[in-house]
Amino acid sequence: MSVISNFTSHISSTKKAQTILRLGLFVILAALIVLLFPRYNNTFRYHFEIGKPWGYSLLTAEFDFPIYKTDQQMEEEQKKVLSSFTPYYKYIPRTQRKVLVISLQDQEWLAQEGYSSIAIMQNRIKKTYPVSEIYTPASAYKHFNSDMAQNLVLDTAMTDKMRTEELKSLSPTQGLVQAGEKIIDKGDIVTDHAYQILLSLRRANEDDKIGTRQRALSIMGEAMLVLLFLSLFVIYLYVFRLSYAHNTRTVLFFCLQMLIVIALSCLCLRFDLSVYLIPFAWVPILTRVFFDSRTALFLHFTTILITSIVVPAPVEFFFIQIVVGMVAVSSLSDMTRRAQLLQTAGWIMLAQSIAYTAFTFAQTGVWASINPWMYLYFFICGLLTVGCYGLIYAFEKMFRFISSITLVELTDINSDLLHMLAERAPGTFQHSMQVSNLATEAAKYIGANALLVRTGALYHDIGKITDPLYFTENQTGVDNPLLKMDPREATKVVIAHIAEGEKIARRNHLPEVIVNFIISHHGTSLVRYFYNTYCNAHPDEQVDESLFRYPGPKPSTKEAAILMMADAVEARSRSLDEYTEESISAAVDKMIDTQIADGQFAASPLSFKDVEDIRRVFKARIISMYHHRISYPTLKNEQ
């Protein structure tokens, strides 16, 4: 009992450790997201655009702050100051009449810069002279008919100093907003003046005088929001998708998707690029390809909620991205062709454009508020959405998932492996095709993954390629060699096709989920023919059943269980003496009841209703396969 107790305790502690690891992935994700957020130390968290309504509640000034001039205003004032500025020259006295002479290069420079006068400091007194009264050596000679040397030299240091002082004298502010003064109210349009005040408030909040306590509270608020949204997603997984929550690879896949898209968004914001360039549709598309629509939408909503914390115009962003997610999931119910992704990208571009236009008109009611560049962003985003195809392949390899596209490719009967099966074991190939048809119909009826079970059925007996003549479906006009062997040895030969199938599958790089079909399609069932034969030949012997059982594992999914039933039922139907509704119904019931009694479906999620529905589908299908055809009459003259 102590050994059992220790083993149970070990399993329990392992499960707890794995649960902590999976939850830790979400905590790490939250920390990385907060660190990636642009301007995360900025306590001013409002987002606004000129011409758009203010989407927050009434905003009043909490402290006095100046209204800063715009860059354009400062540039215009600087130009005005510099237009009246005069460069400074040094006067070097000469033994000649007092005529101001500069070099030809200086004269050309003054004309080029637009200076109309110069300044000379004499005895600490500034004197200004028009450029028209200043000569060059050549013009002075021409005017005074005598040689005159240059006596003015540009005083670079003084010129730069005085220019800097005059520019410094310009005030960067114009007016003051007092504490308690209204800045803007909810629904007010952000005018140029309001925009300037809001920018000034942001600048004041970014001032170094803002305490670390405020910044810490801001970061804490971001972290709380991120953790809240991630927690809601985790709750969804544990309530509605427990199998996903218990799979570390799946949790890592969800976290990686969110991190990639949010990181790209933060990168765009840091470089002042539009966040609408980021293909947020990647998240619902990738999730839908590998999982289900409900999870795809929930993960998408979580991602855009987190991103909306830092993007400009978060309401508009969230509204448009909700549309993107819904369109992506609706137009990609089951991706089996590459062209579907292109169509989805087109629908997403159209939906984004319509949503943006409608939202802008609803908020402002004027054409001028439409930003034409947005439609270019949507187009580029659509092109990047198509690039999701490469990510599907990458994630398939990275996380060992399987997509519908890959399943469709695997069902091509002209593939090398299936072609080899058809050539070397034609009976097994036909059996696999019939099993595939049976299993596919049953899967469709109970809502299981029909494409997955169809693919698994085509490959489930691939191991029979090694020794095809040991199996009755490939024996044409020859005796069964197994009947000449000891039942125990014959059983080993039959069971060996499982291990051989796994080797062949892995050698040909089949996905793990297909390998699972191969190794579980007989579960741990008995090779009953040889077991019964041995028991009849040794009535007094205590027979070890394990010698006649397949190694397993038992089917653990609906699809694997369906395949197990279909395989047994199809094989049994071939051995019937007569094909009537009664004989077929009895054969189907007997095979499935035997498997249930043997506990082969104990690990699968099939319900009693599922099993009964599968029975009905199998019976109807096999009856239609073996129904009696009418006899065609012959011509009397041919008799």
What is the per-residue pLDDT across 527-572, written as a single tens digit (0 to 9) for each? Answer: 988 989 989 988 888 888 889 999 989 999 999 999 999 999 998 8
Residues 314, 324: Cα–Cα separation, whole Å: 15
- As given in the structure block, the two tokens for residue 145 are 């008919």
Q: What is the pLDDT of residue 7?
A: 41
Domain C-terminal end among 366, 399, 432: 399
Residues 15, 24: Cα–Cα separation, whole Å: 14
**In this model, does residue 41 exceed pLDDT 50?**
no
Ranges 162-176, 222-236, 608-622: which has the least confidence: 162-176
Residue 125 DSSP SS3: strand
More confident residue, 208 or 273: 273
Give pLDDT tens digits for 308-330. 998 878 888 999 999 999 999 98
Q: Is residue 352 part of a domain?
A: yes
Residue 3 binned pLDDT confidence (cut-offs 50, 70, 90): very low
Q: What is the domain extent for residue 259? A: 19-39+214-399
The pLDDT mean for the chain works out to: 86
Q: What is the pLDDT of residue 118?
A: 86
**In this model, does residue 452 exceed pLDDT 50?**
yes
First to last CA, the chain: 82
Same domain, 393 and 422: no
Same domain, 511 and 372: no
Residues 63, 44: Cα–Cα separation, whole Å: 13
**Domain total of the chain:** 3
**In this model, does residue 43 exceed pLDDT 50?**
yes
**In this model, does residue 65 exceed pLDDT 90?**
no
Q: Is residue 290 part of a domain?
A: yes
Same domain, 218 and 354: yes
What integer is the mean pLDDT of 202-209? 68
Q: Is residue 613 part of a domain?
A: yes
Same domain, 349 and 277: yes
- Residue 130, beta-bridge partner list: 117
Same domain, 349 and 442: no
Ranges 299-308, 359-368, 432-441: which has the least confidence: 359-368
Residue 229 binned pLDDT confidence (cut-offs 50, 70, 90): very high
More confident residue, 617 or 14: 617
Q: Is residue 633 part of a domain?
A: no
DSSP H helices in 331-387: 338-364, 373-386
Same domain, 119 and 237: no
Same domain, 437 and 567: yes
Same domain, 271 and 381: yes
Q: What is the pLDDT of residue 211?
A: 52
Q: What is the pLDDT of residue 475?
A: 84
**In this model, does residue 626 exceed pLDDT 70?**
yes
Q: Is residue 184 part of a domain?
A: no
35-39, 253-257, 390-394, 532-536: which has the highest mean pLDDT? 253-257
Ranges 122-131, 262-271, 548-557: which has the least confidence: 122-131
Same domain, 140 and 271: no
Q: What is the pLDDT of residue 40?
A: 43
Q: What is the pLDDT of residue 638?
A: 54
Residue 209 binned pLDDT confidence (cut-offs 50, 70, 90): low
Domain C-terminal end among 109, 139, 168: 168
76-90, 392-406, 553-567: which has the highest mean pLDDT? 553-567
Same domain, 480 and 568: yes
- 305 Cβ contact list (under 8 Å, min separation 6): 229, 318
Q: What is the pLDDT of residue 409?
A: 87
**In this model, does residue 243 exceed pLDDT 90?**
no
Same domain, 561 and 438: yes
More confident residue, 480 or 5: 480
Q: Which pTM does this prediction carry?
A: 0.68
Backbone angles phi, psi at 182, to 5 degrees: -70, 135
| Residues, the chain | 639
Q: Is residue 51 part of a domain?
A: no
- 603 Cβ contact list (under 8 Å, min separation 6): 553, 554, 555, 556
Residue 480 binned pLDDT confidence (cut-offs 50, 70, 90): confident
- 48 Cβ contact list (under 8 Å, min separation 6): 54, 190, 195, 198, 312, 313
What integer is the mean pLDDT of 171-179? 84
